[in-house]
Amino acid sequence: MGVDKAGKKSSRFNFIRKSASRTTDDSTIQELEASVDGIEGNSTPALEGAQGEEARDLEDEPNTQDETNMQDEINAQDETNTQAGSPRQDPVPIVTEPPQDESLRQDSLSIVETESPQEEAEMQSMPPPLDTLGQEFAYTAEDADRADSPVEDPEVTLKNLRETFQNIIDDKLANIPLRLIDTHSGILHTSNDLEGIFKESEEYQRLYENLLSTSVSKLQRKVDEFFQYAMLSHKWASAKDEPQYWQIKGNVYDMDAPREICKLQQFCTTSKREGYRWAWSDTCCIDKTNNAELQESIISMFSWYKESAITIVYLADVSDISQLKDSQWFKRGWTLQELLAPQFIRFYKQDWQPLIDSGKNHKVELLTILHDITRIDIDVLKVFQPGVDNVKKRLSWVGTRTTKKIEDIAYCLMGKRHRS
């Protein structure tokens, strides 16, 4: 009996010590939870209390079940001992060892990080990230535009495209010379003739049949390409030697008079070789007996040179670049605008060979030489703007140039836009 009492006493002391240890560990758990809550800083006091109770429930629940199972086993053992005549022993208190510190930390963190239903509701009510919001907004706007835009009848769309195509053609014809020579056939045509020629071409038929699948920019580009033209700049010989409008009766390549017809023929041949179907010369592309046409041509000439694909300058008195500065071309009034207005120039010698061995823009290649000859600023040679500003400087450009009519000097200096 003494031994049994001593054993029971020892067991009770152990139970007290372990209970105290468990109390201490519970305090440690609470301190860890408080530390984690302080780091996170996102939980409310009410949420912390709920989490503390939840943590205690999670901790106590498995221990209670274990104690119940072990107590049942002890009771069964006591009944067996009683039946066998063995004296009954007091049950040994069952104490569950507390988890280690590391597991406590992990359990505490997992409890803190668990989102409550209130947090989930708040998360759902928060706005989405900016990139996601932008994608949703863009998609919604696109859908709205598509829904608001009426579905256009294909026939109406085609009709509008045909009108647009015709407007592009009309605008182009309104800003090119009134007459042009076809370098392929040698025939002189009016701008009205050119519209019919274009509409009979394969290029036009292909564009017209595929309007629904052709962009407006492509239509514009194709029209520009078809109507590209070359302009001739030269010093006139005598009027009786230059071919006049009234003398052009058919194919210019078949003509043998007047004397300067060869210059016109060489110009057309060179333009064709450079890749341009249409060509303009001031000798035969203006009906000078028609006063209205003559006046329109004079005031439009600057813009025609400016809008040309290429200006071919023929230097009848130059056989070598060293003779360039003495050419009569730099002494005529009208040739001043024929130097300033064009964006792309090629100079040809008296034998119709290029002045320099370059397929590039001679105006750019010879910029310094042209500045030295004309005393015109390089920036002005690059990009000239017609007008009446800097009159004194502009007058200095024509100081050594001559014209038959004094008013022609004004046209050379100011320039005019054709059909605004």
pLDDT tens, residue by residue, 356-372: 998 899 999 999 999 99
**245 and 173 together in one domain:** yes
Looking at the fold, whether 263 and 391 belong to one and the same domain comes out as: yes
Let me know if residue 353 belongs to a domain.
Answer: yes
- Cβ partners under 8 Å of residue 320, min gap 6: 349
pLDDT confidence tier of residue 390, bands split at 50, 70 and 90: confident
Rg over CA atoms, the chain: 50
149 in any annotated domain: no
Give all strands (DSSP E) within 275-418, no chain letters.
Answer: 278-280, 310-314, 345-348
Does one domain contain both 179 and 308?
yes
In a domain, 103, yes or no: yes
Count of domains forming the chain = 2
pLDDT band for position 194 (cuts 50, 70, 90): very high
Same domain for 235 and 320, yes or no, is yes
Check: CB of residue 181 under 8 Å from CB of residue 279.
yes
Residues in Cβ contact with 10 at an 8 Å cutoff, skipping those fewer than 6 apart: none
Q: Which residue has the higher pLDDT, 213 or 28?
A: 213
> Can you tell me the distance from the alpha carbon of 336 to that of 178, in angstroms, rounded to the nearest whole number?
22
Backbone angles phi, psi at 232, to 5 degrees: -95, 130
User: Residue 100's domain spans which residues?
Assistant: 2-121
Q: Is residue 140 part of a domain?
A: no
The reply to whether 145 falls in a domain is no
Q: Is residue 131 in a domain? A: no
Last residue of a domain, one of 121, 141, 166: 121
Give dist(CA 165, CA 211) in Å, integer. Answer: 9
CA distance 96 to 62: 10
Residues 374, 237 share a domain: yes
55, 110: one domain: yes
Distance in angstroms (rounded) separating the CA atoms of residues 53 and 59 = 10
pTM to 2 decimals? 0.64
The pLDDT value recorded for residue 402 is 82
pLDDT of residue 122: 53
Question: Do 163 and 99 belong to one domain?
Answer: no
Same domain? For 63 and 207 the reply is no
- 13 with 82, same domain? yes
Domain C-terminal end among 68, 96, 121: 121
Confidence of residue 18 (pLDDT cuts 50, 70, 90): very low
The answer to whether the beta carbons of residues 241 and 259 sit under 8 Å apart is yes
> Can you tell me the mean pLDDT for 81-96?
48
pLDDT given for residue 392 in this prediction: 84
Task: Give the domain-ending residue among 102, 121, 140.
Answer: 121
Residue indicated by tokens 């006139």: 236
Domain check: are 163 and 112 in the same one?
no
Task: Establish if 377 belongs to a structural domain.
Answer: yes
Q: Does 255 reside within a domain?
A: yes
Do 113 and 159 have their domain in common? no
Q: What angle do CA 32, 34, 40 make, to 5 degrees?
A: 100
The reply to whether 110 and 247 lie within a common domain is: no
How many CA atoms lie less than 13 Å away from 174 in the CB half-sphere? 9
